[in-house]
């Protein structure tokens, strides 16, 4: 039988929605912390295929999710393109910045990124061999706008102000950087599919800060270009698009991006999304991540509300964003039990 997530992505309405969880391999799990300590640091973990595969498999062993998502980071692509990347403990990633033509020119060609990213493809190959037969393997990358915000700002920023400033002050450099990221993303995701990824997800974590025509031009259009290129190269491989913070702009994104599924954050209600988004195809989401911390009756009630709202169409149950390090692993099990057994 076809894997449940692939059935949902093909448009099938299932009695019980398949389930996985963004950042399901991560710091909320004690086994992850042990493996990361073995690796030494975060980047070493990402680039060690055996250990990266191990942390990808850990939540599958513990919870039996319907999908595993490759353990990697969206900033590996900028590093492969030639940006300096390092992580500051307790603060997150830092990158060398791209704010002018000269810095843009210092980036390498897309054709050279495999020299850096080949360990990631090896992780995918290991997972395609070791995952249970009924578990779907998801590959991913950051969307060009979101990746660009880090490359321009040199780190995560609360409002993506450096990227918005470059967009206003030097649009040719901004658009050339976005174009390079887009081409690199197509290559990177295509290689993940070659290695065994069955589904691709594009994460545009900062799409919500784009306003007006910029949302269409710098969030929707690159996602559509990536999706079209992947489908031309790999017919039949589904794509999930996640434009976090899109709000009412989630409506119409299936057709605008060409994606098979639109992932929803928790800023929209399931009732609205069923009427405005799910009518066009599969949706994924959208339990607020804080329920993984607080648990209890609120978790059960909200999980049931989401399942009920999306019961009449194709749906993949997930969080509205990634699980946080302070989550209680027992609450994850409660969520899964509620989805699969009614609690």
pLDDT at 23 over 60: yes
Q: Is 7 known to be catalytic?
A: no
How large is the average pLDDT for residues 218-245?
98
Q: What share of the chain is helix, strand, coil (3-state, %, to 5)?
A: 55, 15, 35
Please report the DSSP string for 182-193 in residue order. Answer: HHHHHHHHHHHH
Average pLDDT over residues 282-306: 98
In degrees, to the nearest 5, what angle opens at C-alpha 46 toward C-alphas 37 and 116? 140
Residues 203 and 146: their CA atoms lie apart, in Å, by 8
27 is catalytic: yes
With cut-offs at 50, 70 and 90, classify the pLDDT of residue 198: very high
Q: What is the CA radius of gyration of the chain?
A: 19
Q: Is 73 a catalytic residue?
A: yes
In the prediction, which pLDDT does 342 show?
72
150 catalytically annotated: yes
Q: Is 3.90.1010.10 the CATH classification of the domain at 4-341? A: no
Is residue 63 flagged as an active site residue?
no
Of the residues 66, 73, 260, 266, only one is catalytic, namely: 73
Residue pLDDT, tens place only, 263-292 = 999 999 999 999 999 999 999 999 999 999
CB 135, CB 60: distance < 8 Å: yes
- Among the listed residues 150, 188, 218, 250, the single catalytic one is 150
Active site residue: 23, 225, 244, 249, which one? Answer: 23
> Would you state the pLDDT for residue 90?
82
Please compute the mean of the pLDDT values over residues 66-74 and round it to a whole number: 98
Task: Provide the pLDDT for residue 343.
Answer: 56
Query: Which H, E and C letters describe 54-98, residue by residue?
Result: HHHHHHHHHHCCCEEECCCCCCHHHHHHCCCEEEECCCEEEECCC
Domain ranges of the chain: 4-341
Q: Which of 36, 94, 304, 340 is catalytic?
A: 36
Distance of CA 243 to the CA centre of its chain: 10
24-66 pLDDT, tens digit per residue, is 999 999 999 999 999 999 999 999 999 999 999 999 999 999 9
Q: Which residue has the tokens 């295509």?
A: 190
Mean pLDDT of the chain: 97
Catalytic residue among 27, 62, 94, 304: 27
pLDDT digits (tens, 9 = 90+) for 128-163: 999 999 999 999 999 999 999 999 999 999 999 999
271 Cβ contact list (under 8 Å, min separation 6):
309
- Flag whether pLDDT at 202 surpasses 70: yes
Q: How confident is the model at residue 1 (pLDDT cuts 50, 70, 90)?
A: low
């Amino acid at each position: 039988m076809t894997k449940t997530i692939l059935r949902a992505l093909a448009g099938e309405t299932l009695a019980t929605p398949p389930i996985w969880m963004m950042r399901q391999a991560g710091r909320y799990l004690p086994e992850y912390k042990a493996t990361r300590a073995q690796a030494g640091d975060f980047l070493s973990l990402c680039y060690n295929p055996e250990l990266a595969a191990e942390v990808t498999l850990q939540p599958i062993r513990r919870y039996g999710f319907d999908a595993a998502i490759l353990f990697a980071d969206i900033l590996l692509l900028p590093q492969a393109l030639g940006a300096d990347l390092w992580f500051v403990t307790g603060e997150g990633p830092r990158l060398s910045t791209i704010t002018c033509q000269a810095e843009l020119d210092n980036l390498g060609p897309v054709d050279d990124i495999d020299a850096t990213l080949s360990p990631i493809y090896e992780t995918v190959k290991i997972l395609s061999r070791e995952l249970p037969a009924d578990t779907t393997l998801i590959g991913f990358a950051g969307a060009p706008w979101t990746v660009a915000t880090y490359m321009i700002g040199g780190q995560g920023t609360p409002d993506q102000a450096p990227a918005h400033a470059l967009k206003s002050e030097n649009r040719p450099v901004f658009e050339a950087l976005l174009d390079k990221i887009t081409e690199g993303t197509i290559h990177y995701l295509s290689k993940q599919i070659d290695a065994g990824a069955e589904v691709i997800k594009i994460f545009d974590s900062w799409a919500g800060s784009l306003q007006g025509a910029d949302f269409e031009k710098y969030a929707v259009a690159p996602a559509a270009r990536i999706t079209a290129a992947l489908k031309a190269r790999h017919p039949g491989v589904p794509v999930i698009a996640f434009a976090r913070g899109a709000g009412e702009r989630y409506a119409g994104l299936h057709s605008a991006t060409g994606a098979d599924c639109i992932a929803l954050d928790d800023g929209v209600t399931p009732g609205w999304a069923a009427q405005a988004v799910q009518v066009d195809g599969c949706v994924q989401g959208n339990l607020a991540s804080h329920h993984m911390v607080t648990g209890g009756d609120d978790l059960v009630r909200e999980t049931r509300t989401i399942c009920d709202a999306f019961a009449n169409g194709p749906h993949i149950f997930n969080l509205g964003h990634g699980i946080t390090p302070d989550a209680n692993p027992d609450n994850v099990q409660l969520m899964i039990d509620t989805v699969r057994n009614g609690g």
